[in-house]
Amino acid sequence: MTSTQEPTTDDPGAAAGDIASGTHPSTHDGVDPATIPGIVAGVRQAADSGRTRPLQWRRRQLDGLITMLRRSGDELVEALARDFAKPRLEAHYTDIRFTLDEVRLLRRNLERWTRPRRAKLRLLDQPGKAWVVPEPLGMSLVIAPWNYPVQLTVSPLAASLAAGNAVVVKPSELAPETTAVLARLLREHLDSEAVAVLEGGPEVSTALLEEDFDHIFFTGSTTVGRIVAQAAARNLTPTILELGGKSPAIVTDDADLDLAAKRITWGRFLNAGQTCIAPDYVLVSPHRRDQLVERIVDVIRTHYGTNPLSSPDLAAVVNERHLARLRGLLTDHGGVIATGGNHDAVTRRFAPTVVVDPTPDSALMADEIFGPILPVLSVEDLDAAIRFVNDRPKPLALYVFGEDETGIDRVVARTSSGGVCVNHVMFQVAPPELPFGGVGNSGWGRYHGRAGLEALSNMKPVYKRAVKPDISLIYPPYTRLKERLLSM
């Protein structure tokens, strides 16, 4: 996904100067990049002092996040509405409630998940004992995107704090109203010596990537993910890269079309399509294509009315540049527009759009759409759908609709993706016991729940050998008797 049309779902995301190019101007003043080395040094000092290690400190930080989300959720929802007209219910569910549940889960299980775990030993390892100790990595960097600016800032921050790390947080400048409110609230509710919240444009992200961290957590586009990975490689810094890609939805011949249409439509046009795990295109057999398209068009009308551009339930596109990018995707796609395609430049609303059978190598199908456009493509059969998916970079999510378990199992077994959801979309990220992340171009590393805490920890193995007896089998000279005994 290296096309110049690839959406930037983050803030270094086009990355500044050398990383970006000035295409993402900050809409409010941020930190002076020249002060960043000193700020990072201060956070490093807090990490090295050991203040972030005690469970009591970690509990206080998680409690601070819980209090912030409970008391100031409405304020954040209002800021989201100012940034991109996000519907109130949608904002509460995806950015506030989802995040609050994640932080509460970490807080509730903190002591159990950070406890040293005994490890089993072989006979040759006796007499002794072993265990795994989750310890803080030290200081982490969280670079968050704009599309879910509360959830995708606070969730990785909470995982890092639960693991006992000091943190530098860079929210996105592309959601300026939400970032301003969120930055203020984080400073009010967290330890300011160990947690630094830095506002500003991509030049701030560029400067941060020059510093030495113990972990980098980045959510954004594949293109910028590569830049972050290169920066991290200079210091051999471990990373979690939550990227994107074109997530397919396969509708099999025995699928319930009414159900598939309703759920795919909801997932595609939630947040105006600006969701990294949204179904990016649909694959369906030719004899069911028209029926599915008709049902999707009907659902769009039910959800957003006959004039979606005036619907209060449709969020806006984040800025004019992304609006222009989406318009560009509707030129030379080679397909037929079944509905939508119109937009309002003043409100930045883009009508839910369905494109039937675009050319597979068009820009519409080459890049992650990240907007309210849904291509529906005809494929001969289920095997052809699987080949279509496998011929492209591995997606962050894959969706399959159907009732035949054999067909569903075939899709799951023969494709590779960050996660799979059967007969719905996006719910694979909801259960706290399911780790979330990508594979290949869609990212690496996983978080949510225990997976997040462990990803932001050094899972340190410790082995303690008994002083006596000291078994001499492993020491030279290596005799035939020792060889026989060890082979047993």
| Exposed/middle/buried for residue 230 (C-beta within 10 Å: 0-12, 13-18, 19+) | exposed
Alpha helices in 163-253 (DSSP H): 176-189, 202-208, 222-234
CA dihedral over 310, 314, 318, 324, signed as positive or negative: negative
**Cα 137–Cα 142–Cα 146 angle in degrees, nearest 5:** 165
* Per-position DSSP letters for 183-202, written without gaps between them: HHHHHHHS-TTTEEE----H
Cα-Cα-Cα-Cα torsion 400, 438, 115, 47, nearest 10 degrees, comes to: -150
CA pair distance 396, 421, nearest whole angstrom: 11
Neighbouring CB atoms inside 10 A of 81's CB total 18
- Catalytic (active-site) positions: 242, 276
Pick from 273, 222, 282, 274: nearest CA to 247: 282
Distance of CA 18 to the CA centre of its chain: 24
Alpha-carbon gap, residue 34 to 85, rounded angstroms: 34
| Secondary structure letter of residue 19 according to DSSP | B
Give yes or no for a contact between 398 and 248, defined as CB atoms under 8 angstroms apart. yes
Q: Return the CA Rg of the chain.
A: 25
